[in-house]
Structure 1
Amino acid sequence: MRDSTRTFSLYACIVATGLLVACGPSARQNPGGGDDDDDGSSTCPRCSEDKFAVIDCEGNAVQCPPEQACNAGKCMNACEAAEKNHSSVGCDYIAVDMDAADGPPRDACFTVFVANTSPGQVHINVEWNGLQLNLAQYAKLPTGQGQSLGYAPYDPVLGLAPGKVAILFLAYAPAGGPLMGNVTCPVPAAIGTDAQIAGNGFGKAFRITTDLPVVAYQMLPYGGGRAAATGASLLIPTSAWGTNYIAVSAYDPPPGAQPPIQFATGPSYNIVAKEDDTHVTMRPNQAIIGGGGLMAGTANQPYSFTLQKNQYAQITQANGLSGSPISADKPIGVFGGHQIMSIDRCCGDHGEQMLTPVKALGSEYIAAPHADRRAAGEPRIYRIYGAVDETNLEYDPPGVGPPKVNQGAMVEIRTAAPFRVRSQGDTHPFAMFTYMSGAGDMGEGGQGDADFVRLVPPKQFLYHYVFFTDPTYPFTTLTVVRKTKNGVFEDVTLDCLAGPVTGWQPVGTDGEFEIAFVKTVDHFQGMNGCNNGVRTMDSKGQFGVWVWGWGSEDTNTGWVSYGYPAGEGVLPINDVVILSEHPEDAIFGHNRPHSAAPTTPLAPVEPSAPWLAPPWSPFDR
């Protein structure tokens, strides 16, 4: 049941100031994306960077048993430790087959990659609509690379070996649209048309659980160059979910803008629950059209619905809702995407990213783009979304972008060089994304296509990453950012390289951050001993990693790309809460009407407390 005292106190805080503020104690300082003993301090005993050993006061490492991991300087059940460590490593994930345009993405091959980051065999379970999926049939182990890629069987009894990846073929409907047809799965998939819904409505998500920690990613559609319009996302485990978010889609086109291609379609948003009777409220900055069991909603007024376990609500419409606050009384997962987005030039690509809660947003980011796709280079595109009014933006180098962003507002920045941006502190967090523009017309190379990737704040950087790069793509690059530790840049290692990562360039002028781009695959050929598949990166200092893959015209895989953060911490690093709820919730709880699938919502009632009647000026901006 909702804590109405907390809701009313927050409302009173906002009314007293007339602005959105951070209520409560100062933000927790807990770097490293894990428990508070992994930051390189002298605290002992402490956990190793990979969380699988305890380091005593003499610096000796004692390995945890295979079924355990470290938290707070001691070994414990590995899944329990992962839950406490608040990172992208976990044992419980929910994947959503997001909305996609008619043609390659719609009802196409939907997959989830599960990478075993643990030292023991991992056993995977997948549930959909109350059904346990037969993973002996629908999970495969990738073998080989590129055009020689094969699929070995997965043994549910034996499980997934350490450092290996299983591809879960979850959904595919053998029906193509009128534009370019569909993208089939190379092996049978578990579910047909019911896994994906078109437009607004309620749908059923896939619940993926493991007995040891893993990292998981979803991709729609799977298939590399054959896919033509792919989006992918790092999945955030349910243990790191929150109750307060900012909605951000893949790319909301500027008002009145004409997309470069005619069949570019709408931004989409998915909100999913892990528990029954999860009450969600959104304050949309545009009117919600409604449909599929979701009621229509008025702009800048609270909009509510209820979700059951493993159920999601999907909103897809031409008028984007990015910047709108979302809150819930139980933890939720939130995705932002686009059916087919088109940025600047031909052509278009599906997009999707899972978002982190407001409490995990940073007040500082490094603009870390994809590597150059072509020799001439190109300006990079970034968008910043504000969480708090009067958020001042300071850039290094200076003058890169606008000096300020307000709550719910967006600023777009285009520049060729990486940069650093920060606000006045943890009371003013913001979200930041980077984009890939379209690849251009036939004959221009077809390198990649429109895409977007969420940037990770340096406070959520990790020391250790295990991640997966898709072997069906001819080009794979890693964007790597490191920060100084005690005034020194620590080496960053990639398991397939003979030595540490090289080619570092400074970001800005203050000497605190450096960036490097590592090409691991070029025209399906591995580079410097590397290739696609499971990769591991480590350092004694915190660093961030982003995976990018794309196709090209000369490999017959043009106009397609994907990207995601390789991993991250999802620690609470600020105390900001963006109120999206109706003020009467503080008094009446959930007796107010709201959408609840599959029933039609009741008609609105008149407020019984006249001082809470519309327009509720604290929110009417």
Structure 2
Amino acid sequence: MSQRLRPARLGALVLLAACPDLLPADTDSAGTTAPATGEPATTGASDPTTGFVPLCLPGQTRCDPEQPNVLQTCKDTGAAWESSACAHECVEAIDSAACAGPCDSDDDPTSIGCEFLAIRMASFNGPDDTDALIVGNTDPVELAAVQLWFTPANEFTEQAVLDPVILAPGESHVFDITVDPLAFTNFRNGGVFRLVSDRPVAAYLHSPLANEASNDASMLLPVRWLGKDYVVASWPPFVDADEPDAVNGRPSYFTVIALEDDTTVTWRPRRRTAGLGGQFDPVEPGGAGTKTMRRFDVLQVAASSPPGDTDYAHHDVSGTLVSADKNVWVMGATECAYVPFGSGWCNHLQEQMIPLEYWGSTYVAPPSPPRSGSEKQYWRVYAGDDDVTLGVSRTDQPGTQFVTIAERGDFREFEVDFGVTLLFVGLNQAPILPVQYLAGNQAAGGIGDPAMVQMIAAEQWRERYVFVTGADYEANFVQVVRRTGGADVTIDGQVVGGWKLANFAGADNYQIADVPLASGGEAATYVADSAEPFGITVVGYNPAGPGKNTSAYAYPGGMRLEKLFVP
């Protein structure tokens, strides 16, 4: 049964006092620790011949209680501790301790990490429009050494891609993702890129990087914090009467990368998904498909319909449940989509899906940064559990609307006028995930195109972000959300102003600011800071015009990865 986690912290000594056999030799049942140096402790088993009472067990380790980030090891005599400084920090377990590097800490898991995966996504672009993996050094002081690795298609040996790149604090680098994308429903060994850093960095996948006719971007999540249970977000493929059947219906799909050998992946779609001859059969709604995968195998499953059915609005993998017996990487996407359905132009959509355990219950959903100022706002709210009651508040109406969502993976759609901010709350801390779908060019005054972006729960906001924009966009924004009256937020040291109030009756109130960033040219790196948690979304638009590709991208700028829910 699924359950909601309530954060609780219990000191190691409380646990040890309940289990005295686990107590280190230098700690009594009351939690009293012998001094790091000096005479041996006066309690404990003594040598019957000499009367010597050991201070500690030879080889035992602990973090120095008097000096931070110093590891102590008990000498062979058991009579004293030997100290050595840790390069980063000392981490203590129940009965041991060790020096940990910047990539080893579990204290504050976030979207910043030391290992990420990426592949080239299937989009409505040519073979020369390569995807790009952007990495940014988030450390304010230290250099980061970053190495890109590649496992070629149908091979099982990783190879380094050029030499490591050294990033100064706040610096970013762009790696080209040049492997061929998978088409429609497919399966492949390899074709996976792996980015490794010696200290935590931020990583984003742009498909492609530069402004093209069709693209989007995703925040990537560290391999260390991926999960086993996901709900896929996507959108129906576009349909245009002037286009041939081979172009219409470019699919809604999801992609899975296995992290370990002998990983069994199961998917349960809400709509029919295609099969792959000799690999797996089509799956009808309510059914299940399975595939056993090796490390860095790539599975791609697209929506489908029985022969002769061209109702492309139903070719949508949204709400598909993806689960595995080991952690996996999951991306939800549409090769090219109209938002709203039937209104051009089409654009590629993608998001690396957030594992269910990180879904929260409170989300602020502001309108995207303005284009025409009259474009509608489109939302889907996905349920992370069965029998979810969703509370929906709006800034343009009093009161709260309550909606019941019966099953995990089901969703409800909302369409509101520009300027309306929504507050989505899963009652009784029920896990939900709102996803915003930006309107296309024809519905937004000729500026931008569709994009898909997951909202981040207020429970997972952070105090600091390092984020990177796309390249060659005429309008880039970072949208900032904070609680009303919260601490100042700065972007590269400049205090954010122009806050707009979002008031909700009987609920917390929030402020939103759309901050313009540099336009055109290369991708740019920024730092957002505050003394209190806040949320950010990064958005870019390009208008239509002679010689221009109208397009857009959007992605969450970062998040905490606290486990709030057990699927």
Tell me the distance in 1 between the aligned counterparts of 2:527 and 2:90.
Answer: 19
Tell me how far 1:507 sits from its aligned partner.
Answer: 4.1
Q: 1:159 to 1:323 in 2, by over 3 A?
A: same
Mapping 1:372-391, distance limit 5 Å:
372-374=370-372, 376-391=373-388
- In structure 2, the partner of 1:51 is none
Tell me how far 1:311 sits from its aligned partner.
Answer: 1.9
Q: 1:105 to 1:448 in 2, by over 3 A?
A: farther
- In structure 2, the partner of 1:490 is 487
| Ranges in structure 1 where 5+ consecutive residues have no aligned partner | 1-20, 32-55, 137-155, 172-190, 526-530, 578-621
Tell me how far 1:555 sits from its aligned partner.
Answer: 7.9
Q: 1:234 to 1:495 in 2, by over 3 A?
A: same
Contact in 2 for aligned 1:266/1:338 (Cα 8 Å): yes
2:535 maps to which of 537, 544, 555: 544
- In structure 2, the partner of 1:99 is 122
Tell me the distance in 1 between the aligned counterparts of 2:401 and 2:415.
Answer: 8
Contact in 2 for aligned 1:260/1:342 (Cα 8 Å): no
Tell me how far 1:276 sits from its aligned partner.
Answer: 1.4
Tell me the distance in 2 between the aligned counterparts of 1:61 and 1:470.
Answer: 39
Aligned partner of 2:110: which letter? S
Structure with larger Rg: 2
Contact in 2 for aligned 1:201/1:293 (Cα 8 Å): no
Tell me the distance in 2 between the aligned counterparts of 1:164 and 1:301.
Answer: 47
Aligned partner of 1:433: which letter? V
Tell me how far 1:75 sits from its aligned partner.
Answer: 8.2
Q: 1:386 to 1:259 in 2, by over 3 A?
A: farther
Tell me the distance in 2 between the aligned counterparts of 1:519 and 1:414.
Answer: 25
Q: 1:66 to 1:323 in 2, by over 3 A?
A: farther
- In structure 2, the partner of 1:394 is 391
Tell me how far 1:134 sits from its aligned partner.
Answer: 3.0
Percent pairwise identity: 25
Tell me the distance in 1 between the aligned counterparts of 2:320 and 2:90.
Answer: 37
Q: Please say if 1:506 is aligned against 2:474.
A: no
Tell me how far 1:574 sits from its aligned partner.
Answer: 1.4
Q: Please say if 1:557 is aligned against 2:553.
A: no
Aligned partner of 2:168: which letter? A
TM-score in terms of structure 1 length: 0.68
Mapping 1:88-127, distance limit 5 Å:
88-101=111-124, 104=125, 108-118=129-139, 119-127=141-149
TM-score in terms of structure 2 length: 0.75
Aligned partner of 1:68: which letter? H
- In structure 2, the partner of 1:598 is none
Once the two structures are superposed, residues 496-548 of structure 1 have per-residue CA deviations (whole angstroms, 9 ceiling, x without a partner) of 52x343323224233432211111235x49xxxxx961100111111000000
Bigger strand fraction = 2
Tell me the distance in 2 between the aligned counterparts of 1:434 and 1:67.
Answer: 43
Q: 1:228 to 1:400 in 2, by over 3 A?
A: farther
- In structure 2, the partner of 1:588 is none
Tell me the distance in 2 between the aligned counterparts of 1:574 and 1:260.
Answer: 45
Once the two structures are superposed, residues 422-475 of structure 1 have per-residue CA deviations (whole angstroms, 9 ceiling, x without a partner) of 12123x21111001111119xx85311011111111101001101111242110
Q: Please say if 1:166 is aligned against 2:163.
A: no
Q: 1:107 to 1:69 in 2, by over 3 A?
A: farther
Q: 1:239 is paired with a residue of what secondary structure?
A: helix
Contact in 2 for aligned 1:259/1:342 (Cα 8 Å): no
Aligned partner of 2:159: which letter? Q
Bigger helix fraction = 1
Tell me how far 1:314 sits from its aligned partner.
Answer: 0.4
- In structure 2, the partner of 1:181 is none
Q: 1:431 to 1:301 in 2, by over 3 A?
A: same
Q: 2:228 is paired with a residue of what secondary structure?
A: strand
Tell me how far 1:324 sits from its aligned partner.
Answer: 2.2
Mapping 1:170-209, distance limit 5 Å:
170-171=177-178, 191=179, 193=180, 196-203=181-188, 204=190, 205-209=192-196
Tell me how far 1:350 sits from its aligned partner.
Answer: 0.7
Once the two structures are superposed, residues 313-359 of structure 1 have per-residue CA deviations (whole angstroms, 9 ceiling, x without a partner) of 10123422221222111111111001111113210111110011111
Contact in 2 for aligned 1:477/1:519 (Cα 8 Å): yes
Tell me how far 1:400 sits from its aligned partner.
Answer: 7.3
1:218 maps to which of 183, 205, 217: 205
- In structure 1, the partner of 2:5 is 27
Tell me the distance in 2 between the aligned counterparts of 1:261 and 1:425.
Answer: 49
Aligned partner of 1:113: which letter? I
Tell me the distance in 1 between the aligned counterparts of 2:558 and 2:242.
Answer: 33
Mapping 1:329-368, distance limit 5 Å:
329-344=325-340, 345-368=343-366
Once the two structures are superposed, residues 220-278 of structure 1 have per-residue CA deviations (whole angstroms, 9 ceiling, x without a partner) of 12222xx11012101011111011111222x136xxx9568743521010111111111
Contact in 1 for aligned 2:209/2:470 (Cα 8 Å): no
- In structure 2, the partner of 1:282 is 267
| Ranges in structure 2 where 5+ consecutive residues have no aligned partner | 10-64, 71-84, 152-156, 305-314
Mapping 1:455-494, distance limit 5 Å:
455-483=455-483, 488-494=485-491
Contact in 2 for aligned 1:400/1:415 (Cα 8 Å): no
* Structure with larger RCO (C-alpha < 8 A, sep 6+): 1
Q: 1:80 is paired with a residue of what secondary structure?
A: coil
Q: 1:71 to 1:201 in 2, by over 3 A?
A: farther
Contact in 2 for aligned 1:364/1:421 (Cα 8 Å): yes
Q: 1:437 to 1:445 in 2, by over 3 A?
A: closer
Q: 1:78 is paired with a residue of what secondary structure?
A: coil
Q: 1:514 to 1:116 in 2, by over 3 A?
A: same
Aligned partner of 2:176: which letter? F
Tell me how far 1:28 sits from its aligned partner.
Answer: 2.7
Q: Please say if 1:446 is aligned against 2:446.
A: yes
- In structure 2, the partner of 1:272 is 257
Tell me how far 1:120 sits from its aligned partner.
Answer: 2.1
- In structure 2, the partner of 1:53 is none
